[in-house]
């Protein structure tokens, strides 16, 4: 699994052929875990692992970290916070770098998720980098998207409200033993009620480091899977965007970059250089 993910993440030619050979496990459910930094997403993932593993289920985790500006590797390494599952036979955890992607995910996250979808997992957890308002891609990949917040996030919810209401299938108020938690939960429930969608987004109170509220969260995830099964318009939009990106890559590979650069340097030295006319010659 680790070698296959690396092959795909690095966009190797063998990886492209490997992706074409995949067949997917229809029973695997993809759960997105997103939210602002410091909300306790990794702790929540750890608590979900404990819950599912105790029921002999198999879980894969793709944990997307901020990338190093020097080598583009994962900076935080969220597996450190899941050390009790390092060698567990029912768990596979991979920290991956966002590599500058602004949607909270890695540029190869769709391909890497597909690799894991071809394995025998009951659940795949996608934990995003936690960049805030731009964290919407996960909703296009996940069957259910869990947005994790803390009681102090009141002002943040106001600025993120439209995006959050669009992507959240379930809200989790983590660290709900803190002051102001009840008021914050009521505020979120009001927002959810006003949204008037076919699925009324539940608001679950959790204390992830004590595993409190995890059973209720799992129950909400399972209910969402049953009620919203087949509602995949967000995923289709994201896959269409990915298809366009792959098509662009395919045609760009036909262009010799050295020749492109040399021709640009020659053409751009002319006083009447027109970028758009020059680009037209490369179509």
pLDDT digits 0-9 by tens, 196-241: 677 889 999 999 999 999 999 999 999 998 887 655 666 777 677 7
pLDDT value at position 280? 83
Instruction: List the structure tokens of 141.
Output: 């990949």
Residue 187, pLDDT above cutoff 90 = no
Domains of the chain (ranges, CATH numbers):
2-233 (3.40.50.300), 238-280 (no CATH)
pLDDT value, residue 90: 94
CB 63, CB 81: distance < 8 Å: no
Which residues are within 8 A (CB) of 200 and not within 5 positions of it... i.e. 6 or more apart?
192, 193
Give pTM, 2 decimals.
0.80
Query: What's the pLDDT score for residue 69?
Result: 38
Q: What pLDDT is recorded for position 66?
A: 55
- Joined together, the tokens standing for residue 214 give 């995890």
Mutual angle of helices 13-20 and 2-9, in 10-degree steps: 110
Q: What is the pLDDT of residue 76?
A: 47
Please tell me the predicted confidence (pLDDT) of residue 68.
Answer: 41
Cα distance between residue 65 and residue 125, in whole Å: 14
pLDDT at 230: 53
Q: What is the pLDDT of residue 103?
A: 43
Which pLDDT tens digit goes with each residue over 32-63? 998 887 888 889 999 999 999 999 999 999 98
Task: Say which residue, 193 or 156, is predicted with more confidence.
Answer: 193
Label residue 67 by pLDDT band (50, 70, 90): very low
The answer to whether the CB of 68 falls within 8 A of the CB of 75 is yes
User: Strand, helix or coil at 180?
Assistant: coil
Per residue in 82-140, pLDDT (tens digit) is 667 878 999 999 888 654 444 445 577 888 999 999 999 999 999 886 644 445 667 77
Q: What is the pLDDT of residue 233?
A: 67
d(CA 49, CA 47): 5
């Amino acid at each position: 699994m680790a070698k296959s993910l690396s092959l795909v993440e690095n966009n190797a030619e063998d990886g492209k052929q490997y992706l074409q050979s995949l067949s997917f496990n229809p029973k695997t459910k993809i759960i997105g875990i997103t939210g602002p930094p410091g909300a306790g997403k990794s702790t929540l993932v750890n608590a979900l692992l404990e819950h599912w593993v105790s029921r002999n289920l198999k879980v894969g985790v793709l944990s997307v970290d901020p990338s190093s500006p020097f080598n583009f590797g994962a900076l935080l390494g969220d597996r450190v916070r899941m050390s009790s599952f390092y060698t567990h036979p029912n768990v596979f955890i991979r920290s991956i770098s966002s590599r500058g992607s602004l949607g909270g995910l890695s540029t190869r996250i769709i391909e890497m998720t597909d690799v894991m979808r071809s394995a025998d997992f009951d659940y795949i957890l996608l934990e995003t980098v936690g960049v805030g308002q731009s964290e919407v891609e996960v909703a296009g990949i996940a069957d259910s998207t869990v947005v994790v917040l803390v009681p102090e996030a009141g002002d943040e919810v106001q600025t993120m409200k439209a995006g959050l209401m669009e992507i959240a299938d379930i809200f989790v108020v983590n660290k709900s033993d803190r002051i102001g938690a009840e008021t914050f939960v009521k505020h979120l429930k009001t927002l959810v009620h006003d949204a008037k969608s076919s699925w009324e987004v539940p608001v679950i109170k959790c204390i992830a480091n004590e595993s409190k509220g995890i059973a209720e969260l799992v129950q909400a995830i399972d209910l969402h899977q049953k009620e919203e099964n087949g509602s995949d318009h967000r995923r289709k939009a994201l896959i269409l965007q990915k298809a366009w990106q792959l098509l662009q890559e395919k045609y760009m590979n036909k262009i010799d970059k050295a020749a492109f650069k040399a021709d640009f340097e020659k053409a751009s030295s002319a006083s009447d250089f027109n970028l758009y006319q020059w680009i037209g010659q490369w179509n």
